[in-house]
């Protein structure tokens, strides 16, 4: 089944042409190196301003600055796409983050402001209202069961970690469904890699913190390139067992990177996704180049955040380079 059967690839010609034009302003390796070599945090911020990311002042908060920059490009995608649901594969995690936030606000004694994520597919106000009134059937179908299960966990056991794990697993299952439902081999591969790397991270985290088998099983999603049962058993045995299992899969490089450092492992996870996305760069028409553009913008914002945070903490250029992700251009 394809989610996009109603459209031919050539129907995206205008949107793809706009994306190709905007790709010219993406961060390059040379831009990134200049940011890394900037003599200070302020110098790096000024470099971004010179690149057209927006004006800065001494009072500019880099987190808000980057959010505003990404919001501008999100508005561009909303402008060129007839149906923003075509990006569900990438955005559903934002909606599910908002579901988590709404559920926690419901059970916390005092509401928490500023916890909702921008760039979503579903209306955040409608989502929070449905949770607030416990009208679960007002949520999108795929959210209803995990929302009710997570709410029950929060109210009966106050186990926020398990509630998060339930929502996270549902997110991964939705990502995989959407990737396979597009009818695009490239997008299906992107979804598979996103789910697999998330499973690996979750397994390593569960192994480190000594989670129970029930918790681990409720945290991991089924996917084609990893055996969930083997991964659960490995996580129960510890991080070394997880890495040993990975060494027998397509993700053996991830095990090597994790053994070196967690920052190298995190970089490997993001770079693996970028490898998949790069395939879409050479697709002349269709939704794939638009998906690739979103991921590329997200990656450059992540790169800028890593560099600016490092500059704030006076890390060396070499330490920053170790953390910086592979870019789209």
Contact 70, 301 (CB under 8 A): yes
Q: Looking at residue 212, what is its pLDDT? A: 96
* Model pLDDT, residue 284: 79
pLDDT for res 97? 92
The whole-angstrom separation of Cα 186 and Cα 41 is: 38
Q: Give the per-residue pLDDT at 322.
A: 85
pLDDT the model gives residue 112: 58
Give per-10-residue mean pLDDT for the chain (329 aa): 55 90 93 96 96 92 93 90 83 92 83 69 90 95 96 93 95 95 88 96 97 96 97 98 97 96 92 84 83 90 95 93 78
**Do residues 134 and 105 make contact, with C-beta atoms less than 8 angstroms apart?**
no
**Amino acid 5: pLDDT:** 47
What is the pLDDT at residue 119? 74
Please, is 241 exposed, middle or buried when counting C-beta atoms within 10 Å of its C-beta (0-12, 13-18, 19+)?
A: middle
């Amino acid at each position: 089944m394809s989610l996009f059967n109603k459209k031919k690839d050539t129907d995206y010609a205008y949107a793809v042409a706009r994306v190709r034009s905007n790709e010219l302003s993406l961060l390059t390796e040379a831009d990134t190196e200049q940011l890394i070599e900037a003599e200070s945090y302020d110098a790096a911020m000024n470099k971004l301003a010179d690149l057209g990311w927006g004006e800065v002042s001494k009072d500019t908060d880099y987190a808000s600055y980057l959010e505003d920059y990404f919001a501008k490009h999100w508005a561009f995608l909303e402008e060129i796409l007839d149906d923003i649901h075509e990006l569900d594969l990438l955005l559903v995690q934002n909606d599910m983050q908002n579901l988590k936030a709404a559920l926690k606000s419901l059970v916390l004694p005092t509401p928490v402001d500023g916890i909702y994520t921008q760039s979503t597919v579903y209306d955040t106000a409608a989502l929070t209202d449905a949770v607030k009134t416990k009208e679960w059937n007002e949520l999108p179908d795929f959210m209803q069961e995990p929302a009710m299960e997570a709410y029950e966990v929060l109210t009966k056991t106050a186990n926020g970690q398990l509630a998060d794990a339930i929502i996270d697993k549902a997110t991964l299952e939705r990502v995989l469904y959407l990737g396979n439902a597009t009818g695009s081999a490239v997008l299906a591969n992107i979804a598979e890699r996103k789910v697999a790397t998330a499973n690996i991270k979750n397994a390593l985290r569960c192994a480190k913190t000594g989670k129970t088998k029930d918790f681990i099983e409720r945290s991991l999603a089924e996917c084609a390139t990893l055996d969930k049962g083997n991964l659960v058993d490995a996580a129960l045995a510890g991080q070394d067992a997880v890495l040993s299992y990975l060494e027998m899969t397509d993700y053996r490089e991830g095990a090597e990177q994790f053994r070196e450092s967690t920052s190298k492992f995190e970089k490997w996870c993001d770079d693996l996704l970028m490898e998949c996305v790069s395939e879409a760069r050479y697709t002349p028409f269709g939704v794939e180049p638009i998906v690739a553009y979103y991921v590329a913008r997200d990656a450059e914002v992540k790169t800028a955040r890593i560099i600016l945070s490092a500059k704030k903490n006076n890390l060396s250029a070499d330490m920053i380079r170790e953390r910086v992700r592979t870019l789209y251009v």
